[in-house]
């Protein structure tokens, strides 16, 4: 008889599938490593088992223990499968931007799920990173795998994913592309492949709102790059230990919209019903391949998960239209608002050393109600609004001679180009009276309440 002792014994040996239609006009052979053939329908099954087994060997977790992890969903599902096979309990923390399907699936396999706010700093006690760490400290015999910094993550792909790709391409692979989140998938796989053939080029796919691409290219961790985005599973506002930038040769950033549309194309044109970040990986890899691949090259793109995680999001036409990914109104996104200005409105800023009185004259001169504040390097470090400064002047008229840095408020939030008018409107409140957005050329634009009103009434 041929059978497996438990479901986790079926992990790995996922197929390579040639992409035929979405690659039209691009040279070379382009193959997808389809990870939804794993029992948990994602690449994260590989690291889940490895992290638990390494913890068992180290005596970090004992029988009857509890696994506690911060996850975007897929790692949690892999850990839950391993926990069922090995007799552990699971508690997972997730950001509230994750799909309802992911939360429901985790609960279906017996896990407790704690949903945490997305738009907080990683160090904030409410973040899903911090809540997982706190629960680990509070619950006896618990194990916090911490997929971001646990090098068993990278090791799992070095030992399995890399060798599978090398074997199935008979060593002909020349390029490997993958999304970058925790970094384990791309770095573990790339490390193995580069050891077999040093010329293998690795392309990391990042998202707008994440720090990876700029950090790779400049060595600067720029908090100004961080803002909310919708794509799940890639990009970060931290630098995980599993991300080895020496193993990633190039980064390509992909928007939420382009990712969603490519995922739907893969389903309709290739028969690959894949997840959202799979669209990111393919769109970004093909953008790079179009300019760099040769006819004799072989590129492998890793597709991390399955489309069932996103039925209420990118595979729902109403959701797509509401987010401006399927056009339903003339002004639907931040990109449309910026385009409508035709470049006429240049962003006006003031330096933090400028006197408050001078800034007020500038507000009046330009007929604006709010203005970003920059430091000596041109980085946005604060904001000034007419209503707030009026209140402060009434309390203390002498502050008109003070430098802006002493009275400024926190910087306006950065948002993604593809955020829709309804999302933008929800982000503007008493605490945040305008929004900032970077376009494809990295120029910064401001979106005000007046801009949103214009977009909704035209």
The residues that are catalytic are: 44
Q: How far apart are CA 41 and CA 311, in angstroms?
A: 14
Q: How many helices (H) and strands (E) does the chain have?
A: 16, 16
Token pair for residue 391? 């209140």
Strand 142-143 relative to strand 175-179: parallel, antiparallel, unpaired?
A: unpaired
> DSSP assignment of 228-276, as one string?
-----SS--SS--TT--GGG--EEEEE-HHHHHHHHHHHHHHH---B-H
| Other C-beta atoms lying within 10 Å of the C-beta of residue 6 | 12
CA distances from 116 to 20, 26, 106, 121, 436 (A): 40, 42, 15, 12, 24
Q: Which of 244, 227, 248 is nearest to 236 (CA)?
A: 227
| Other C-beta atoms lying within 10 Å of the C-beta of residue 204 | 29
Q: Which of 30, 11, 35 is nearest to 233 (CA)?
A: 35
Q: How far apart are CA 69 and CA 334, in angstroms?
A: 34
Q: For residue 345, with 0-12 CB atoms within 10 Å meaning exposed, 13-18 middle and 19 or more buried, which class applies? A: middle
Token pair for residue 280? 């990111």
Q: How far apart are CA 231 and CA 436, in angstroms?
A: 19
Beta-carbon contacts of 163 under 8 Å, excluding residues fewer than 6 positions away, are 192
Q: How far apart are CA 300 and CA 176, in angstroms?
A: 5
Q: Which residue has the tokens 């009046």?
A: 364
């Amino acid at each position: 008889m041929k059978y497996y002792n438990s479901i986790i014994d079926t992990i790995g040996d996922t197929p390579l599938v040639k992409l035929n239609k979405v690659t039209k006009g691009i040279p070379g052979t382009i193959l997808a490593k389809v990870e939804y053939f794993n029992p948990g329908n994602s690449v994260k099954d590989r690291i889940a088992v490895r992290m638990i087994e390494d913890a068992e060997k180290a005596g970090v977790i004992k029988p009857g223990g509890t696994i506690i992890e911060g996850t975007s969903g897929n790692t949690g599902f892999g850990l839950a499968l391993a926990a069922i096979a090995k007799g552990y309990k699971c508690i997972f923390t997730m950001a509230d931007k994750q799909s309802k399907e992911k939360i429901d699936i985790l609960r279906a396999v017996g896990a407790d799920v704690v949903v945490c706010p997305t738009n907080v700093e990683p160090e904030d006690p409410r973040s899903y990173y911090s809540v997982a760490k706190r629960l680990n400290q509070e619950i006896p015999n618990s194990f916090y795998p911490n997929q971001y910094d646990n090098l068993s993550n990278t090791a799992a792909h070095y030992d399995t994913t890399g060798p599978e790709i090398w074997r199935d391409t008979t060593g002909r692979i020349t390029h490997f592309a993958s999304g970058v989140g925790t970094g384990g998938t791309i770095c573990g796989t790339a490390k193995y492949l580069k050891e077999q053939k040093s010329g293998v080029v690795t392309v990391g796919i990042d998202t707008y709102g994440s720090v990876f691409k700029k950090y790779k290219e400049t060595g600067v961790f720029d908090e100004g790059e961080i803002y909310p985005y919708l794509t799940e599973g890639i990009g970060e506002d931290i630098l995980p230990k599993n991300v080895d930038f020496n193993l990633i040769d190039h980064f390509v950033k992909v928007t939420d919209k382009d990712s969603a549309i490519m995922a739907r194309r893969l389903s309709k044109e290739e028969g690959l019903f894949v997840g959202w970040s799979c669209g990111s990986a393919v769109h970004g890899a093909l953008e790079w391949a179009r300019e760099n691949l040769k006819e004799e090259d072989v590129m492998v793109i890793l597709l991390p998960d399955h489309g069932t995680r996103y039925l209420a999001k990118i595979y729902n036409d109403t959701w797509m239209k509401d987010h401006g990914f399927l056009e339903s109104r003339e002004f639907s996104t931040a990109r449309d608002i910026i385009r409508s200005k035709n470049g006429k409105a240049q962003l006006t800023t003031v330096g933090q050393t400028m006197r408050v009185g001078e800034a007020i004259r500038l507000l009046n001169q330009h007929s604006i109600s709010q203005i970003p504040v920059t430091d000596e390097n041109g980085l946005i470090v604060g904001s000034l609004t007419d209503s707030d400064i009026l209140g402060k002047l009434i309390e203390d008229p002498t502050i008109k001679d003070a430098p802006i840095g002493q009275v400024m408020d926190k910087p306006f939030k950065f948002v993604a180009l593809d955020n829709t008018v309804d999302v933008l409107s929800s982000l503007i409140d008493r605490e945040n009276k305008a929004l900032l957005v970077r376009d494809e050329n990295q120029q910064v634009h401001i979106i005000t309440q007046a801009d949103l009103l214009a977009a909704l009434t035209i």
